[in-house]
Amino acid sequence: MKLTILGCYSATPRTITNPTSQIIEINNQMFLIDCGEGTQVQLRKHKIKFSRINHIFISHLHGDHFYGLVGLISTFMLLNRQNDLHVYGPKGIKEVILLQLRLSNSFTGYGLYFHELTSKESQVVYEDDKVKVSTIPLQHRVYTNGFLFQEKPGDRKLNLGAVFNYEIDKCYYQKIKNGSDITLDDGRIIPNEKLTFDPTPTQSYAFCSDTKYDESIIPLIENVDVLYHESTFLEQDKDKTTHTMHATAIEAATIAKKANVGTLVLGHYSTRYGNIKLFKEEAKTVFENVLLGDDGKVFEFNK
Amino acid sequence: MKLTILGCYSATPRTITNPTSQIIEINNQMFLIDCGEGTQVQLRKHKIKFSRINHIFISHLHGDHFYGLVGLISTFMLLNRQNDLHVYGPKGIKEVILLQLRLSNSFTGYGLYFHELTSKESQVVYEDDKVKVSTIPLQHRVYTNGFLFQEKPGDRKLNLGAVFNYEIDKCYYQKIKNGSDITLDDGRIIPNEKLTFDPTPTQSYAFCSDTKYDESIIPLIENVDVLYHESTFLEQDKDKTTHTMHATAIEAATIAKKANVGTLVLGHYSTRYGNIKLFKEEAKTVFENVLLGDDGKVFEFNK
């Protein structure tokens, strides 16, 4: 599992920082989460192939999370994209994108599908045989969802020594990998655990931005391997969290601890601070395994 | 008069080039023309004070000319701008900006005024005591205007030696600067030209992008000091101009020559070319005084 932070600062793009956007690669699938202004240039900088992006998840309709989407969709169009593109985001996202395409008399040559979200309960928004993506309803100033990416377990791994030993025919291998026991010609039943090893452990990633401190998300993100949780403010500005409905680094760490996650990645820093290392320092007073997200950082996670 | 090119490449923003946006400073007034994605970052790079931008002119609603506008408007909002902001552009621009602000539950604390354009005839869209701005209707795939910025002549300059010599009272100075003759106490009439010098010569700037080659604009831009005319293609790709309704460098130079302009600035280059110097070379075969626009270039023009 690989996380590429294209941008992780709040509010306005600057010469040195970018608004929210990131790529999560899980089970060889690539997903774009949020798309602030300038995301397409960040994708180019990181040499991420546009053709690998087929699913874009937008948390909410504040500009720093989606003003780059229409430009990316237009660029895909200019580059003669053929693959379908699926966009998941709050109701309204379809209207605003299509209005802009209509005003420019432009139409995508590829299939552009909007999956508009309105539910305040968690729901599965994408699923294939390798990955499942669900929403994490968040508490912010506008309707907002985080997203939970869960790798699905693959086949069990064949214990080749054992299957040779029992002289099991190849035609049963897939059945065994699917978990079945095997009855030999002499009537003996060989239980599956003698013929296989456990599959590669699955991984999971939860993206939670933007949100105030909200313990109601804990059941949804419990035990995830990696949690990206916004930390807009340092403790000195905790009073600003109520009005803005953002969180502090310590609050992010508290959620990480209570949800028993593997690793916490911080981000969505207010641009008022000179030194983002303080976010990590504060978070580590509550939860040990903290990574400091920053534009351009790539994190690889293995089990 | 000072022209700052924030971006002058067509189609998609890239790591090394930006879509159209520029600042023209004329008679100490600053105007932003077009606002492709990333313009706000380009403005910061060039240390242009956001508070000096009060009038934004949008040529047309193709993404590479206005996808950065909503972000700039939002950033002004986050920075607690107080001054009114006026946006001039094709009908539809108000709907698309306000829809995005509404979806993010955001409202500007400053006055945001849209001046929507629909006329296919040239019209004055802005005027004060120093500058006049008129549209230049252009021929492109969607409704498009160029913009003509004309400095207004200031007062005539007082010939101090002469007014002392005739012992003219100070209370007449403004009248003289306005061009009046003066009758002395002894009845002699002193013609204004004996009491004043000509005012500082005025300058003018015409922005013409995007457009196909179109001689009908010549009467509107005749004798301007500086013409920015799009040159999307080199001569080798002239066949692409018909369908795309863009111009070549030679076509831009031909318009400059026929309109007898002072200086031609090229821009809106297709990103298919490796070396933009060829645009200048081709244009110079038709018109001598050519400048090669490029992102980050600042041109000062004096008479």
Q: Where in chain B is the domain with CATH 3.60.15.10?
A: 2-154+200-300
Residue A220's φ and ψ, nearest 5 degrees, are -75, -30
Name the helix (H) or strand (E) containing B218.
Answer: helix B218-221
pLDDT of the residue at A274? 87
pLDDT of the residue at A214? 98
> Of A148, A159, A190, nearest to A59 (Cα)?
A148
pLDDT of the residue at B274? 87
pLDDT of the residue at A166? 95
User: Does A175 reach chain B within 8 Å, measured CB to CB?
Assistant: no
Q: Output the CATH code of domain B2-154+200-300.
A: 3.60.15.10
- Angstrom distance (rounded) from CA B240 to CA B11: 14
* SS percent in chain A: helix, strand, coil, step 5: 30, 30, 45
pLDDT under 70: residue ranges of chain B:
none
CB contact (8 A) between residue A71 and residue B63: yes
User: Does A91 reach chain B within 8 Å, measured CB to CB?
Assistant: no
Looking at chain B, which residue has its C-alpha nearest residue A15? B41
pLDDT of the residue at B12? 86
pLDDT of the residue at A12? 86
pLDDT of the residue at B212? 98
The answer, yes or no, to whether residue A160 has pLDDT greater than 90, is yes
Residue pair A268/A246 in contact (Cβ under 8 Å)? The answer is: yes
pLDDT tens column, A162-215: 999 999 999 999 999 999 999 999 999 999 999 999 998 899 999 999 999 999
Q: How far is CA B303 from the centre of its chain?
A: 17
- Angstrom distance (rounded) from CA A264 to CA B157: 69
pLDDT of the residue at A81? 96
Q: What is the mean pLDDT of residues A4-29?
A: 94
The answer, yes or no, to whether residue A11 has pLDDT greater than 90, is no
- In angstroms, what CA-CA distances link B125 with A189, B93, B216? 88, 16, 20
- DSSP structure string for A147-163: EEEEEPP-PPEE-HHHH
pLDDT tens column, A210-262: 999 999 999 999 999 999 999 999 999 999 999 999 999 999 999 999 999 99
Q: Are strands B2-7 and B298-300 parallel, antiparallel or unpaired?
A: antiparallel
Residue B176's φ and ψ, nearest 5 degrees, are -65, -45
Q: Is A62 annotated as a binding residue?
A: yes
pLDDT of the residue at A254? 98
- Angstrom distance (rounded) from CA A137 to CA A259: 16
pLDDT tens column, A109-123: 999 999 999 999 999
Binding residue numbers of B for Zn(2+): 60, 62, 64-65, 140, 210, 268
- Angstrom distance (rounded) from CA B149 to CA B126: 9
Average pLDDT of every residue of chain A: 96
For the record, the structure tokens of B256 come out as: 């400059």
Quick check: ipTM above 0.85?
yes
User: Does B38 reach chain A within 8 Å, measured CB to CB?
Assistant: yes
Looking at chain A, which residue has its C-alpha nearest residue B68? A37
For the record, the structure tokens of B129 come out as: 């005591």
pLDDT of the residue at B201? 87
